[in-house]
Amino acid sequence: MSASDNEIPYPATSYDVAKAAGVAQSTVSRCFQDDSNISPETRERVRRIAAELGYSRNALARSLITRKSNMVGVVATRFTIRNNPELVYTLGDALRSEKRRMLLMVIESDATVGSIIDEALEYPLDGLICCSNMKETDISRFRTRRVPIVFFNRDVKSALTDSIATDHAEAGQRAADLLFEAGHRRIVCIKGPEKAQVSLVRASAFVARLAELGVAHVPTVSTDFSYDQGLTAFTDLVENLPRPDAVFCANDQLALGVMDACRYKLGWRIPEDISVVGFDDIAEAGRLSYQLTTIRQPILEMALKAVELLLSRATNTDVEERNIRMAGRLIVRTSARIQDKECPSL
């Protein structure tokens, strides 16, 4: 028994199947395409033989000739993945139902997106869903290659490049109205990183709206969007302040930290002593221990829409860019008083 007897050096190719079935390689190829002219008998026989040989088509070789990789790149930051794990699942699921694979490229933060550009360009991606900012020079490299991009929750405007995002400004404004109408006047704001566009928009719209309503000063502090900093930054902030009666947090993680600070560090009751409003509606916000009133981002609808926008670019190559903004939805729980203080009977 020689070495060549038991060699299984490489997976079977369409040539191997062709030889075993006594047909041409192109016939084998046709047997695995849905819309090809092939006799039912041949198709069945060849497929059976292929199965016996353990044959699968090589997707890479196919991509080379069809010039379609059937792969969609998804760029996501660590924070996005942690805060919205369902987004990853939903994107993957939506892409698979469109016969696309998900090449997930994770980055530490928006600041490090540059590190994956070259790698993404080496694959003839069908498209890129980018949950990060990107420089125009990098965007144009994809555009040159005809790789469409959809930005997800990032306010990036570029030619032929779509985006979908929550309407953060409207949402921040709504939070301001909510708290003002409930009679709150000593209001503070816990926002995210200075570099995080979404946080800035939410917070500045919130503050601006309050200013319109006559609340001139809204003490504000920046954080890293984490529970821990929500807890500590809030505690520090209120130390030298008249006690606030409401707080808006630019995301739910912060809000949970603020709530725990109130209850376990400051001894304040929620919502009797202070109203807390968050942003996102993550799973934790609905726990009985928190019951956080917050503004939900329609992440899952946005994910589906992102896939739809992306794949429609394959046919509609030159349609003008679409920048879709979806309204957040106020989820009323018990962490904020929503009726006016002056009318407790309501």
Partner DNA sequence: TTGTACGCGTTATCAA
Partner DNA sequence: TTGATAACGCGTACAA
Interstrand relation of 293-296 and 101-107 (parallel, antiparallel or unpaired): unpaired
Compose the 278-297 pattern: x for residues touching a second copy by CB under 8 A, - for all others: -----xx--xxxx-------
For residue 18 the two structure tokens come to 């062709």
Least distance CB 40 / DNA (angstroms):
7
Residue 195 contacts which entry, DNA, a second copy, none (Cβ below 5-8 A, type-dependent): none
**Measured between alpha carbons, how far is 142 from 121 in angstroms, rounded to an integer?**
7
22 contacts a second copy (rule: CB under 8 A): no
Query: Site for a second copy (CB under 8 A): which residue of 30, 45, 101, 329?
Result: 101
Site string for a second copy, 174-193 (x = CB under 8 A): --------------------
Among the listed ranges 100-108, 129-137, 186-194, 312-320, the one in contact with a second copy (CB under 8 A) is 100-108
Instruction: Candidates 20, 29, 141, 266: give the one binding DNA (CB under 7 A).
Output: 29
Compute the least distance from the CB of residue 117 to a second copy, in Å.
10
**DSSP for 25-80?**
HHHHHHHT-TT----HHHHHHHHHHHHHHT----HHHHHHHHT---EEEEEEEHHH
Closer CB to a second copy, 245 or 260, in the complex: 260
Of the CA atoms within 13 Å of residue 127, those in its CB half-sphere come to 25
Q: Which is nearer to a second copy, 114 or 183 (CB)?
A: 114
Angle (nearest 5°) at CA 102 between 80 and 116:
65
List, in order, residues 6 or more apart from 265 with CB less than 8 Å away.
Answer: 231, 235
Report d(CA 302, CA 152) in Å as an integer.
Answer: 8
Which residues make up the interface to DNA (CB under 7 A)? 10-11, 13-15, 22-27, 29-30, 32-33, 37-39, 41-43, 55-58, 61-62, 64-67
